[in-house]
């Protein structure tokens, strides 16, 4: 099946729509909004985890892989969602968190109780290494009352599974097949490139162990095996692997169709271009040179070697891209469209994160009490310990917290933005009376721009399947590329700045037609002027 003309929409279920008034979004809420999603034109909905979970990491700490948490409406409601979505030609993508389980999962509990079989499901050592967990603190915690330690690359309530144990891999095949049999047709594999750990784990100079567990050759074997025993049997299934600190070479290998690993990969290099010294908890302007260089090298290499990228600006782990890459005060609408076109016209599968299609921005919380994410709260304390003032630390959290994108969806100008009648689990952004779906559909122009981009991908093989080549790579303001398919070519130009600029257009494109533009009345010229945040795509 070709997935190349499809567009995927990501829903953070806790924050989408609450139909019960308990302040937490639910599956009935998603069902209610299927007509809206269908109007947008998306093909698949990726739902962040909805399994039973103590919610220490918002569902990425799973305590039962084979259930739907009653918090979201339970299994019956999921079955109804799958069925109702089908009526709109929409499929459901599940989040498969197979690197770790909650320490409340039965397997970990049995291991703690002394069951040797289950102890071998985890990574236990007599001596911990000095690795730092991705959420701060040491990556090893004491294993119950024993003298051993268990590995957790994330929170201490998320114990890493031992993929070297064949029984673990068999259990996980059962999990994946269970959901496929339910009718789930998309699988998003959480941090899947860290499942293959070395046998000997050691201290190292970076205190992170990344080299001992990232993109190991054995991970490719595990993925092939998983595919063979589960999703590879269904040719209408789309898979995407979330890759932490990965390389192009590995992503080519993960996604070349003949290797039977995954359909596509997420990587995050382009969302680190505004980190100072590669550190997340810093504030810096984005480095446009680096951004372009990443887009071009990934775009071209994947194109030449037949790999496939997942394309995205936002997700539940990232602050809103509009705040990072656009002068959002003055150019929210224009900038939102430029960012959208710069990936929707590119080669790869675009993902839209809920609210992006109406130009949602960071909530600008002003007190640490408004944040709930474990990563932000840990960072807050750690940053204070480095000697920064509380105001400085709060400023950083404000820019960088994952809660920025997790605030409730803004449906209308009613109390709690129409998300819920009760107090939301995470505060609604104050700007909801300005930015909401109802307003966007009547007076805005971002939603309809997304609709058009999605329609183009569905109707033009050039956009879905064309090759990618960088254009004018040295330009100081414009990110440009050329897509080619048979006799057709598309030149896509994106001005990433609030000042106008100009760029020379090759002669053959001067005869072309404007396919996409976020300004009106543009006239093509040899020396083409691009307005602030203008996106312009010319077809020949
Ligand atoms: C991924 C998820 C993130 C989660 C982490 C641990 O990065 O996207 O939300 O905290 O994995 O499961």
219-266 pLDDT per residue, tens: 999 999 999 999 999 999 999 999 999 999 999 999 999 999 999 999
Minimum-distance ligand 1 atom for the alpha carbon of 402: 9
Mean pLDDT, to the nearest integer, of 421-426? 98
Residue 370: phi and psi, rounded to 5, are: -85, -15
Residue 514: phi and psi, rounded to 5, are: -80, 120
DSSP tag of 521: S
Minimum-distance ligand 1 atom for the alpha carbon of 155: 6
Q: Which of 265, 310, 317 to mutate to test the pocket of ligand 1 (most atoms within 8 A of CB)?
A: 317
Residue 430, SS3 per DSSP = helix
> Which residues contact residue 247 at a Cβ distance below 8 angstroms, ignoring those fewer than 6 apart?
215
105-115 pLDDT per residue, tens: 999 999 999 99
120: annotated active-site residue = no
Mean pLDDT, to the nearest integer, of 516-530? 98
Q: Which pTM does this prediction carry?
A: 0.97
Q: Is 329 left (phi over 0), alpha (psi -120 to 50) or beta?
A: alpha
Cα–Cα distance, 45 to 12 (Å, whole number): 10
Q: Strand pairing of 310-311 and 140-142? A: unpaired
Q: Name the CATH superfamily housing domain 109-151.
A: Oligo-1,6-glucosidase; Domain 2 (3.90.400.10)
Element (H, E) at 83: helix 74-87
Q: CATH 3.20.20.80 in the chain, residues?
A: 8-99+166-364+409-455
Distance of CA 223 from the midpoint of ligand 1 (Å): 19
55-66 pLDDT per residue, tens: 999 999 999 999
Q: Where are the beta strands (DSSP E) in 450-500?
A: 467-471, 478-485, 488-495
Minimum-distance ligand 1 atom for the alpha carbon of 375: 10
**CA-wise closest residue to 122 among 133, 107, 132:** 107
Residue 288: band (very low, low, confident or very high) from pLDDT cuts 50, 70, 90 = very high
Exposed / middle / buried, residue 374 (Cβ in 10 Å: 0-12, 13-18, 19+): buried
Q: CATH 2.60.40.1180 in the chain, residues?
A: 466-539
Per-residue model confidence (pLDDT) at position 204: 85
Distance of CA 48 from the midpoint of ligand 1 (Å): 10
Q: CATH 3.90.400.10 in the chain, residues?
A: 109-151
> Which residues contact residue 356 at a Cβ distance below 8 angstroms, ignoring those fewer than 6 apart?
313, 314, 320, 321, 336, 340, 450
Q: Nearest residue CA, atom 12 of ligand 1?
A: 60
Q: Which CATH class is domain 8-99+166-364+409-455?
A: alpha beta
Catalytic residue among 18, 61, 95, 190: 190
Q: Nearest residue CA, atom 7 of ligand 1?
A: 191
Cα–Cα distance, 212 to 160 (Å, whole number): 14
Q: Nearest residue CA, atom 9 of ligand 1?
A: 317
Mean pLDDT, to the nearest integer, of 291-314? 98
- CATH topology for the 466-539 domain: Immunoglobulin-like (2.60.40)
Q: How far apart are the first and last CA of the chain?
A: 28
Q: What does the DSSP assignment read for 163-191?
A: TTSHHHHHHHHHHHHHHHHHT--EEEETT
Q: Strand pairing of 467-471 and 349-353? A: unpaired
130: annotated active-site residue = no
């Amino acid at each position: 099946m070709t997935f190349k003309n499809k567009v995927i929409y990501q829903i953070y279920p806790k924050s989408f729509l609450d139909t019960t008034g308990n302040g937490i979004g639910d599956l009935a809420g998603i069902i209610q909004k299927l007509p809206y999603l269908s109007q947008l034109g998306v093909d698949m909905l990726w739902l962040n985890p909805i399994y039973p979970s103590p919610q220490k990491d918002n569902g990425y700490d799973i305590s039962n892989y084979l259930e739907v948490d009653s918090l979201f409406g339970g299994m019956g409601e999921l079955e109804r969602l799958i069925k109702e979505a089908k009526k709109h030609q929409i499929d459901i993508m599940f989040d498969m968190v197979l690197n770790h389980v909650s320490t409340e999962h039965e397997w970990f509990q049995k291991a703690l109780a002394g069951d040797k079989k289950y102890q071998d499901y985890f990574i236990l050592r007599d001596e911990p290494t000095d690795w730092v967990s991705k959420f701060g603190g040491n990556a090893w915690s004491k294993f119950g009352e024993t003298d051993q330690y268990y590995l957790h690359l994330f929170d201490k309530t998320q114990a890493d599974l031992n993929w070297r144990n064949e029984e673990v891999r068999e259990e996980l095949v059962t999990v994946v097949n269970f959901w496929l049999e339910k009718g789930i047709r998309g699988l998003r594999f959480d941090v899947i490139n860290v499942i293959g750990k070395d046998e000997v784990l050691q201290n190292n100079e970076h205190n992170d162990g990344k080299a001992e567990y990232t993109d190991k050759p054995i991970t490719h074997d595990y993925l092939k095996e998983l595919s063979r025993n589960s999703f590879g049997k269904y040719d209408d299934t789309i898979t995407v692997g979330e890759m932490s600190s990965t390389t192009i070479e590995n992503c080519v290998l993960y996604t070349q169709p003949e290797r039977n690993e995954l359909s596509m990969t997420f990587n995050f290099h382009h969302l680190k271009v505004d980190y100072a010294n590669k550190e997340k908890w810093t504030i810096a302007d984005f480095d446009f040179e680096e951004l372009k260089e990443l887009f071009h090298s990934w775009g071209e290499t994947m194109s030449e070697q037949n790999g496939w990228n997942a394309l995205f600006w936002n997700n539940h782990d990232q602050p809103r891209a509009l705040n990072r890459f656009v002068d959002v005060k003055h150019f929210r609408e224009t900038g939102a469209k430029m960012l959208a076109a710069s990936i929707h016209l590119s080669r790869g599968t675009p993902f839209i994160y809920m609210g992006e299609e109406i130009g949602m921005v960071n909530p600008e919380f002003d007190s640490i009490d408004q944040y709930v994410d474990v990563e932000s709260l840990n960072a807050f304390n750690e940053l204070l310990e480095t000697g920064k003032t509380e105001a400085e630390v709060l400023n950083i959290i404000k820019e960088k917290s994952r809660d920025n994108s997790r605030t409730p969806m803004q449906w209308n100008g009613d109390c709690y933005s129409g998300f819920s009648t009760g107090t939301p689990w995470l505060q609604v952004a104050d700007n909801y009376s300005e930015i909401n779906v109802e307003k966007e559909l009547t007076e805005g122009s971002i939603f309809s721009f997304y609709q058009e981009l999605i329609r183009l991908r569905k109707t033009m093989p050039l956009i879905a399947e064309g090759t990618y080549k960088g254009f004018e790579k040295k330009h100081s303001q414009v990110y440009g590329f050329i897509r080619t398919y048979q006799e057709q070519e598309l030149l896509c130009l994106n001005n990433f700045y609030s000042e106008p600029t100009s760029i020379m257009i090759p002669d053959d494109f001067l005869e072309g037609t404007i396919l996409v533009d976020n300004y009106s009345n543009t006239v093509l010229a040899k020396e083409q002027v691009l307005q602030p945040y203008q996106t312009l795509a010319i077809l020949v």
